[in-house]
Amino acid sequence: MRAAVPIERHSLLSDRRAFALVTPDADVTWLCQPAPDSPALFASLLGGDGHFSVRPQRNQLPLGQQYAPGTMSVRTRWTGLQVTDSLSGGLVRSVEGRVPAVVEFAPRPDFGQNVVQLEPVPDGLRVAGTPIELRSPGVDWRISGGTATAVLTPPVVLELRWGAPPSTEDWRR
């Protein structure tokens, strides 16, 4: 088990309806959805279960992390890899670069109170018994014990959704 990252080292993502916390090495350790007072989907920040990480396949430290100008989107950079995280009707993780990335998706709805089962669906994964889906076209997932892992060749966009997709009107606001 990894050591906890101090809260002051986390970056905050927000879309004014929800928020998430991301470590300096692009691990989403806190996310409550669909609202800030909803049960957590990722709660490893508090020593619980659940996280969503992206990192280079070759182990290396990140070069830095910064907010995209004028946004609540966060960019994490390594040599040859960049992950941009934002909340926009869902958690969107854009993976770009020239080196392979390893992704680990370990959702734990309701603060990990229930056993998680991930189901492959066209273009992604679904958390069984919930409205939660991870859209990940072209990604080949390995599922084991409620955790999915994959090695990606960028560019890839991972989009975590809950409930029905936003309507056209939601995109215009």
Rounded to a whole number of angstroms, the distance between the first and last alpha carbons of the chain is: 41
pTM of the model: 0.88
**Which segments of the chain have a pLDDT < 70?**
1-3, 47-48, 111, 164-173
Token pair recorded at residue 64:
């830095």
Q: What is the pLDDT of residues 11-59, one digit of tens each?
A: 999 888 888 999 999 999 989 877 788 888 888 777 667 899 999 999 8
Q: With the C-alpha atoms ordered 45, 88, 124, 163, is the resulting torsion angle positive or negative?
A: positive
pLDDT at position 160 is: 95
Q: Is the peptide bond before 34 cis (omega within 30 degrees of 0)?
A: yes
